[in-house]
Structure 1
Amino acid sequence: MPLFVAQYPIGINSRVEAIILQLEIGSDDVRMLGIYGPGGVGKTTIAKAIYNKILDHFEGINFLENVKDKSGTFDGIIQLQEILLRETLGMNGQLKVRSESKGTVAIGNILHNKRILLILDDVDKLYQIERLIGGCDWLASGSRIIITIRNKHLLQTLSIRHSTYEVKGLDNHEALELFSMHAFHKNKPKEDYSKLIDQVICYAKGLPLALSIIGANLHGRSEMEWKSALDKYKMISDKDIQKVLQVSYQELDETEQDIFLDLACFFKGLYKEWAGPSDPTLAQQRRGISA
């Protein structure tokens, strides 16, 4: 099945085509490519679009999302290994891995016999790569490994031939179109908001995540409310986009903040601990996410 990429995939196609050229799908050697860039720049979105475009060229395909977060949980690596084995083998039933070491050996045995496309999303430690693909020389001819990372230097310790692609922020035209789609639900902004929009584009620094969140936050609001939000952005350092996103979160009313945090907890797997609205464990987890 293809993956959902983005509601408004603006600026994606040119970057996807450039990366596919680097992958040289027709060649029989094994290739690894690292897609790197800051958080919120669209690495995962681009990786999903690539996956959809080239998946038919491989015998086995797998997209492991949020490797960093999942590997940090109890038995997280084992769970990722189980997913990788099941999906590469095309299994719908249960498959149990008893230990990380056994899982790595099992993966090696499978990867050696199949031309695969494997995408490891949001990797931040070398051991995550080693546990999930074992020795890179195990990979079958023609296989492709794509890794999304923030720091490209992580790949320099690997012996496998690899290349890198830096994802840069959207240019002003792309940023304006993406922001307009979220703020006005059309690809052109309202003319009387042009000066305010210029400020938003400046603050977002071409990061699709920031443009999407800020645009959605300002959608349907008055010009006065826009100015109030932008006054808060002026107090934030240009380099600290995370605080810009925090301001957008704080603009939500209390109920909307609760919904946002509940969804964030759900996607991080923290809902398993939920005993109710007053559960102190959940409250602590939600506070950590909001921070």
Structure 2
Amino acid sequence: MEFVANKSNATLFVGVHGMGGIGKTTLAKTINNKLSNQFELRSFIADIRESCKQNGMHYLQNQLINDILKQDGGVRNKDEGIKFISSKFKGKKVLVLLDDADEVVQLKCLAGDHDWFSSGSKIIITTRNKRILEEARVDYNYEHKEMDNNQSLIMFSKHAFRRNSPPREFEDLTHEVVSITGGLPLSLEVFGSLLCGKEPTQWINTIKKLKRVPHTEVHKKLRISYEALGYRQKQIFLDIACFFICTNKIIASYMWDACGFFPSEGIEALIFMSLIKVGNDHKLKMHDQLRDLGREIVCEEN
């Protein structure tokens, strides 16, 4: 918000990236709502990744045209859409939220360049893949990270107890569940809702299960990023999940290189998809939820 406020008269492309379930859309919607009173012309294009697969790019372009111009664009293909939007929106100051893009071509079809819009326009983009934002040359690129322990405790408590902190008899159990989530908002919400209204004995049994068997609703979201990988990238991801967390990436790369997995390219792709991190000591790191997802996939396959 500080960045946007300091450049209020400029046309800005703002990107938010991070792993699945971390709250990118929630953050983008909050920014969108704070800015909305400054714009008469607004559009929120939700779930671009899935909608584009099901309906085609021209469907999303027509949605954008209808939101901004209040008319049916009649666009039949993406090239027609690019031509229409780039020419008809030039004098329009717009606020557009493009949610969950997974290919740079989607951004080029909906908001190809700054000069498509009038000065003062704001385009907010969310994605799991940082590379898309770099290729689109956004003006501000923000990595949305996991919640800290205090934030996690508050969010979990809101879903589990409908208040900001746990009752005294649930304090230890709450801290145990929060530690399992690893600060992932999606996990906090799902697990909090799962345990809401349950007795302490049920909490204990559920915690044991969560430690053994990852919650399916969380993994449905996280698995989207995994399925988007190529075969070699998937193998590297699964290897890290099972064997190489806290291992020097150079050591692990010797094996991947021998297997023909092109480790430099694969590791870079996993980093850009927010599926792993590499520390300053070159050690591979992975969120606990993603680690458990990888191990679950291996158990399913074998």
- After superposition, the Cα gap between the structure-2 partners of 1:27 and 1:49, relative to the gap in structure 1 and judged at 3 Å, is closer
Does structure 2 retain, via aligned residues, the 8 Å contact 1:59–1:114? Answer: no
**Partner of residue 269, structure 1:** none
Paired with 1:97 and 1:242, the residues of 2 have a C-alpha distance of 42
1:33 correspondence with 2:21 = no
Q: Distance in 2 between matches of 1:35 and 1:210?
A: 20
2:69 equivalent to 1:89: yes
Residue in 2 aligned with 1:234? 211
Output the amino acid matched with 2:95.
L
The answer to whether the 8 A contact 2:85-2:116 is kept is: no
Give 3-state SS (helix, strand or coil) of 2:101's partner.
Answer: coil
Identity of aligned residues (%): 33
Counterpart-to-counterpart distance in 2, 1:57 and 1:98: 32
Q: Map 1:42-61; keep pairs closer than 5 Å.
A: 42-61=23-42
Contact 1:35 1:147 in 2 (8 A): yes
The CA RMSD over aligned residues, in Å, is 2.2
Paired position in structure 1 for 2:126: 148
Q: In the superposition, relative to structure 1, how do residues 242 and 32 fare at CA in structure 2: closer, same or farther (>3 Å)?
A: farther
In structure 1, the partner of 2:161 is 184
Q: How far is the alpha carbon of 1:243 from its aligned partner?
A: 5.1
Residue 64 to residue 169, structure 1, CA distance change in 2 (3 Å): same
Contact 1:182–1:219 under 8 Å retained in 2? yes
Count of residue pairs brought into register by the alignment: 221
Aligned to 2:78: 100
Deviations 1:119-138 (A, max 9, x none): 10001101100111234432
Alpha-carbon distance in structure 2 between the residues aligned to 1:100 and 1:40: 29
Of 210-219 and 167-176, the range deviating more from structure 2: 167-176
Distance 2:13 2:159 in 1: 35
Shift in Å, 1:189: 0.6
Q: What is the CA–CA distance in structure 2 between the aligned matches of 1:230 and 1:244, rounded to whole Å?
A: 16
**Structure 2 residue aligned with 1:126:** 104
Structure 1: where are the runs of 5+ without partners? 1-19, 248-290
Q: Could you say what secondary structure the match of 2:142 adopts?
A: strand
5+ unaligned residues in a row in structure 2: which ranges?
221-299
SS of equivalent residue, structure 1 residue 121:
strand
- Per the TM alignment, residue 118 of structure 1 is displaced from its structure 2 partner at its CA by 1.0
**Does structure 2 conserve the Cα–Cα contact (< 8 Å) formed by 1:25 and 1:142?**
no
Contact kept? 1:107, 1:134, Cα under 8 Å: no
How many angstroms does 1:235 deviate by? 2.4
Q: TM-score, normalised by structure 2?
A: 0.68
TM (normalized to structure 1)?
0.70
